[in-house]
Structure 1
Amino acid sequence: MKYCAFLRGVNVKGTNMKMAEVCQVFRDAGMNDVVSILASGNIIFSSDKKSDELKKILEKAMSEHFSYEAFLFIKSQKEIENFWNGNPFEKNDDLHAYTFVGNQGVEKVLLKEFENASKTENEDAKIVNNIFYWQVPKGNTLDSTFGKILGKKSLKDQFTSRNINTFEKILKKI
C-alpha cells in the first residue's frame, strides 16, 4: 500500500536534515519506493504494514538516526485524497490555506484554540470530515495569534500542518 509520512518539526529550530538521508532511514527501516516531496518532511513510500505499526517503526528509526524525538503521521493515498478534496477554501493569491495532519480528535482541539484566538481579516478555520483547515493572509502565518499557538510544546506530538498545495504535489507523485 502507498503511504505518505508527514514529519513534524523538520528543518525548523535547529532540526536540520537532508531529505535524501531521511529517505535512506526509511529504506533501512524496510520501506519501499521511497521518495521525498519538498524539504519539509513529506515522504512517500510503500509497505504491507498497517499505519499504526509503521508510525512506531519510523519514529524509532528517525529518533535513533537523527538523535531527536521524532513525531510523524502516516496517511494512506485515500486519506491524502480526502485532505485535498475536502479543502473548504477557494483559491486566493492573497491567502494561504493549511490543513492539519494529526491524531484523532486533534481537529476539535485546534478549532477551540482558533475560536479563542484573535483573528486577522480573512482568517478563517473549518473542520471538514474530521480534518482541520485554516486560511490566513499571506505574511501573517507565524504572526497571527493562532499561528503562535501552533508552536505550543503541549501540542507538538498531536499534529503537523502543511500548505494545501503540498497535498496536490504528493498526489501527483504517489
Structure 2
Amino acid sequence: MMTRYIAFLRAVNVGGRQVKMELLRALFEQAGFKQVKTYIQSGNVIFDAKGQEAALEAKIEQLLQQNLGFAVPVCIRSIAAVQAVLDNNPFPGVIPDKDFQIYIAFLQTLPGKEATAIIATLQSDIETYHLNGKEVYVLMKKNTGAPPFSNTYLEKKLKLVATTRNLATVQKVLSF
C-alpha cells in the first residue's frame, strides 16, 4: 500500500547548490515514486511510496548524491504526520506577522534524552523553543536586531540533521 509523503530537503537552492524542481521531480519519478510534486524552490517534494521513512530517506539521499554530486540530507514525514505537526503547534494563538515568525525544524532522527535539557538552554527573550518528538518548534520575535533563527545552530546543539520551514510553508506544502 502506498503512503503519501513529504520529503523536506536540507540546503537546496542555497549557497550555490542550485537544483531545478523539474530535475527533482524527474529523479523521484525515475526512482519509482508516484504522484510526484514539488512546492517552491526550497526542496519540498510530495510523493507516494511504499516503505518506512528512514529507508526512504536513505534511498533519496543516495539518489541525490549520485545525481547532483553533493549530499542532500532528507527528512521525510507522511502527510498524516505533517498534519499532526500542525495540530500540535505549541503556539496556537500566535499568527506570524511583522513581529513574529514560527519555524518548524524537522529532525531526521528522534533526539536523545538530553535534547530537552539542550532545548531549555536555547530559550531567550527573542526565541522560544519547544521539542515534540522529531520536531522543534521555534517562535521568534522579528525586528530585534538579533540574527534570525539558524537551522545550522540547532543542528550543532542537538548533534542531529534537521531542516527547517516556516509555518506558512508547512501549511501550504501540506495542502499542495
TM-score normalized by the length of structure 2: 0.82
Residue of 151, 171, 174 corresponding to 1:168: 171
AA aligned to 1:138 is: K
- Runs (4 or more) in structure 1 with deviation over 4 Å come to 107-114, 139-142, 144-148, 151-155
Per-residue CA distance 1:129-153 (angstroms, 9 max, x = gap): 5531001123569815766623749
Partner of 2:107: 102
Partner of 1:61: 63
Partner of 1:149: 153
AA aligned to 1:126 is: H
C-alpha distance in 2 between matches for 1:40 and 1:146: 15
- The 3-state SS of whatever aligns with 2:90 is coil
Q: Is the 8 A contact 1:125 1:134 kept in 2?
A: yes
TM-score normalized by the length of structure 1: 0.83
Within 5 Å, which residues of 2 pair with 1:68-83?
A: 68-83=70-85
- Report the Cα offset of residue 27 of structure 1: 0.8
C-alpha distance in 2 between matches for 1:55 and 1:45: 13
- Report the Cα offset of residue 26 of structure 1: 0.7
- Report the Cα offset of residue 116 of structure 1: 3.1
- The 3-state SS of whatever aligns with 2:45 is strand
Residue of 124, 139, 145 corresponding to 1:119: 124
The reply to whether residue 131 of structure 1 matches residue 135 of structure 2 is yes
- Report the Cα offset of residue 115 of structure 1: 3.4
Distance 1:115 1:55, change over 3 A: same
- The 3-state SS of whatever aligns with 2:136 is strand
C-alpha distance in 2 between matches for 1:163 and 1:170: 11
C-alpha distance in 1 between matches for 2:167 and 2:13: 19
C-alpha distance in 2 between matches for 1:169 and 1:145: 21
AA aligned to 1:13 is: G
CA RMSD of superposed structures (Å): 2.8
Distance 1:131 1:118, change over 3 A: closer
C-alpha distance in 1 between matches for 2:172 and 2:50: 23
Q: Is the 8 A contact 2:25 2:38 kept in 1?
A: yes
Distance 1:109 1:25, change over 3 A: farther
Q: Is the 8 A contact 1:107 1:127 kept in 2?
A: no
Higher mean C-alpha deviation, range 101-110 or range 7-16: 101-110
Higher mean C-alpha deviation, range 55-64 or range 142-151: 142-151
AA aligned to 2:21 is: M
